[in-house]
Structure formats: structure tokens, C-alpha cells
Structure 1
Amino acid sequence: MLTLVIRICFVILSTTVALAYGRNYYLETDFPVWLAGVIGFAIAVTLIAMEQAFRRRFARAVVTVIVGLFVGLLLSKLILGVLDAAIQNPAIRDNIDIPIVLITTYLAIITILHHADRFRIIIPFVEFRSQAPEEGKVVCDLSALTDSRLAFLAQAGLFGHRLLVHERTIHACQQLSTSSNDTDQQRGQRALATLADLRGLGEPMLELESIDLPQADSDGAVALELARLEGARLCCSDRDILARAKAERIPVVDLSLLAEVLTAGVQPGDSLRVRIERAGEQQGQGVGFHRDGSMVVVSQAEEAIGEEVMLVVKRLHHTAQGRIIFGDRQETASFQRRRSTAE
């Protein structure tokens, strides 16, 4: 509310000051005085719109532009000094100074805007952030989004009030969902479904980041760099990325460990219900996925693709990618009738 009042006062003051100047400078000309007020109003509204467009990094953007302007003007002065000594024709010298200042200043501002993160040691104040991680912000990487437990844990309030996902991570999810490999395609579809669930929660708020990260050459590096820049925690289930984050002193949320602690474990002999999504590698097997993202391989379930079946857990197999549950299909009345008919 206070911000709104300040903005309204700024617009009124800008319009009033512009009208005052207009009375002094336009009174003896053909220009209407109210035109100065319109110009002042337009400038104020433009500045407020720019603040809204860069509201999450407004201080960083303003300071970066000021630094770029200073560097551009300094380089322009150096270049013009060299040209003054090299060019003897005063007509040429007088006509190239403004274009050189404009071009040099523009290139300096754009370069620093796109690569401010590389210059943060030279210009440490362009980030305007605390060195301590903010507990309310969590960056989710690709491995976290492919885990269907993420939305449930977020709904339980374990991740603060802001979840950050980079646009490159979403693009990777979309690429996986259209992959020719069935496993990658299912991972991508689960990730997109998780994103949809997170958007529907409302709290924590899901925010998409589009900041340029030229040094990040992989999906994991994108999440690491974003967490470092935002001073946020990294939510991940990939062991390699977690190890790298800990080595770089980035706070992490180990999604697999957290979900394993909070979720009741599946043990041999337990009964589960799972939806069969495709045929398995061996004859008669059907493959589905548990709610925690684990792959479930069910014997005698190949003909039940698209249906939910009951199974008894036979054994568990742990791999680098996660856990695989093997089970035997329970012989329900409908299944017994179907099998007796086939025999």
C-alpha cells in the first residue's frame, strides 16, 4: 500500500514540476503548456513500468546500467582522445564524437547486463544480495521435478514460500517428454505434471527464471548457478549434483532422503495398487510407477496396460537412478476369470 502511495505521489509531482517548467519555457512559444505536463506524466509512468518489469532485480538492473554508462563514457573519452590525435580533419572529428559515444555506451551497458555475474568480483555491488542463503527460496532442478513426491512435500510447507525453476530446466523437461526413449519420455511427462501441480498450489509460489547463465553448460549446472546467484537452497535428488553443491557450499535439500524419511517404506510382502503404463522387458510383465516415482515391475500384468492392478511386493532393487519394486499380481476375481478364459 505504501509503495502505491509513493508511486501516485511521484506521478503527481512529476506532472506538476513539468507544468511549472512548461510555463517558464513554453509561455513565449507556440507550444501548449499542458504538453509539458503530459511529458512529465509519461516519464513518470515509464519509470514505474520499468520498475515493475525488473521488480525482482530492480536495484541490480539500475546499478548495472549506471556502471555500464560510466564505463561507456570512459571508453568513449579514451577513443575520442586517440581519434583527435589521429584525425587531422576537424570536420570529421566534430561529426564522429556523438555516434562513438552512443555506440560505445550502448555496447558497454549491454555487455555488463548480460555478463554481470562474471564481473561480480570486480563489481561486487551489482548483485545487491546478502551472502547468507535465504530460507524462503528453493531452486528445483530437473531431477527434483521428475519426482512426483515434490508437489506433496511442497504442499506440506517444507520448501518456504518461493520455488524457482529456470526456463532452461523447463525446456529440458519438454525435450524429455517428446523423446523417443520411453523412460525419458515418462520422466519428462512426470516433470511437466509436477510443474502443473506446483502452479496449482499457489503457496509456495512457483516462479520461472530467465536470467542468462552463459557459464552453465548442463541442466545441473543451471540449477547450481541459479541457487548461487539467488542465495537459495537447491532441491535435488541427483547424487552427483548434490555432491557438487555441497563441495561449493550451496545449501541443499536432498529430496530422495527427505521423502524416504517421511514416506512409509515399501517392504516385501506389502500390497500395492499401481497403474500399468507399458509392457516390461520380459514376457508377461507390466511396468508402472509408485507414487514416490519408483518403477514397479509386475508379473502377469502385460494385458492390464492402462488399468490399475493389485500386487504383492516380492523384492526391492536399488540402482543409481532410484529404486525398482518387483511384485506378483494378486489374483483378484476378475483376473482369475480372465486367466481361466484364456486357458
Structure 2
Amino acid sequence: MRYLLIIFGSASGYIIAKQILGDNLSAIVGFISGFFISILAIIFEQRVKKTPLRIVIGGAIGLITGLVVSNLISYTITTQFIESSIPKILIYILVNLLFGYIGLSIGMKKGDDFDGHNIYTLFGEKHETKAIKILDTSVIIDGRIADITDAGFLEGEIIIPQFVLQELQYIADSADGIKRVRGKRGLDVLQRLQKQTNTKVTIIDNDFPSIKEVDAKLIALAKEISARIVTNDSNLSKIAELQGVSVLNINNLANILKPVVLPGEVISIYVLKEGKENGQGVGYLDDGTMVVVDNARKFLGRNMDVVVTSVLQTTGGRMIFSRVKDEDVKTELH
């Protein structure tokens, strides 16, 4: 198809130049011009495929406006001041190229700046807007996103792609009881989000039939609409960031918000089970942080005060190491 376009463009350039100017040299120039214009058209087509729709529409409107203005100017100049045909053609070409380029550039810029919810962005400076957020399946099922948005910590429009909704429905209809419960929980969380007055939730039909994986579709959609992905999937976070997509990981937020515990502090813990090492006991803080207590095996099933000795921070969370407070040991011994 592209080869046919090049052949057609070259032949058209040859015929048009031959008809207008008459000599063979001009026809050859027309042939070469048609060839290069066809190549540029193919390159332009490839670029347009990767360009967001709002920029394409803005560019098209700008180009049409520029060409209308340029032809009005060219007509006025050529009818009033120029009689020879060749200068007229050159003026039409140059003025159309100039105003067409200006219109295309301004249109694409305004299309990129345009906020569909605010028409005034077309006529003023571009202001920083609240970024669009796309929710993935894992963060919807997790449920904490509803509490975060309800508290007002997540601003901007929330997008739920149709393919994510379909995945939730598939999980909710699963024969596996655990998966079914998780899927229904996710649908309940979506209903809760839609009822919140401080959050706009939109379900969109954008899909990528050539892409099979839901995670890959999320990344492609985020690139297309310049959005951020909200997830608690660490693998999706890493892959998206490698491809230049901004990610908000709920687990990272949860880790950041955990109370700070410093070595030497005394905390109260319920010794729930034995640790891996000999004599260790293990308990948990209210936020789920694991606390390993040395020499606490004999205190299983008891609440006790322990002294923090060190804190280990990992990508999966944090772990606190501690020892039994001296007073507790003495009490037990007596």
C-alpha cells in the first residue's frame, strides 16, 4: 500500500508539473517532489498513530484554519499585484506552507494543553492539572483505595478501563470460592468509589485488541491518555516505571505511613508464636509489622514490653528485632 502511494504521488507530481509548466525539466522536478511528499506522508502517518487523539484533532483544526487564511491572503496578493502565472503559483505554495505549518503547530500545542472539562485552557496558559489515575484490578480488590479517596488524599479523575472491569467480573464468577469472594469485594469497592461525592469515577471503553495481558494494556492506556497507574502490584510498578509511566503504589504509601520505631524504644507486643531461631518469639504490631523477640519463647501467649534493638526495612515492608525488657525477665524468674 505504501509503495502504491509513492508511485501515485510521484506520477501525480510529474503530470501536474507537466500540465502547468509544460517543459520536461519541470516535469522531472514535479516527479521528484511527488516522491518526497509521498515519503513525508508515510512518515507523518506513522507519527500520527503514536500521537494522542486530542493532539491530532487540534493539529487538524489548526492546519485547516491556517490553509484557509493562507489562501485568502494569497488570493488577495495575486489578484491585486501579480499577473504572471509562475509567481502566483510560487506565492500560493510558500504562503500555504508558512500558514499551514503555523496553524498545525499552534493546533497541536493547544490540543495538548486542552482540558476537556475547561474550555478556557484553549485561550490561556497551561496550568498544572490534577493527573488522571487508572486503577488496576489488584488495588480495587485490595479496597484501601476507597478509604484513601474518601479521606481526600487522591485528587483528580479516576479511570476504570472496561478490560479491568471484565477481569473483576471474571474473578467474581470464578468457581474458586476465594477468588469469587475477592472479585465480589472488588465490585463492591467500585460501587463505593462511584458513590463518593469528592471523586469522579469514569469507566472507559479504550482497549488494545493486539495486546493480551491486562498489565500491558494498562501501561499502553496510561501512555495514551497521560495518566498514572494506581496499583499494589510491585511487578507492574517496576515494568510501568521502566516504560516511563508514573505509578502510585498503595503498599509503598502504607509502609511510609507506618509509625516510626527507633532502636531503644519500648513497645508492647503479644507473643503469638515461636520464631525461626532457637528461643525466639514472634508478635505483630497493629499495622501488621512483624516483631521478632529474642529469648521470648517461654512468654508465648502473653502480652509483654520489649525493647527495640534494630529495624530492617525491605521492599516488602519492615521487620523489627527486639529483646525482652529486663523487668519482664525478672518478673518471670521470680
Q: Could you tell me the TM-score, scaled by structure 2's length?
A: 0.43
Which structure is larger by alpha-carbon Rg, 1 or 2?
A: 2
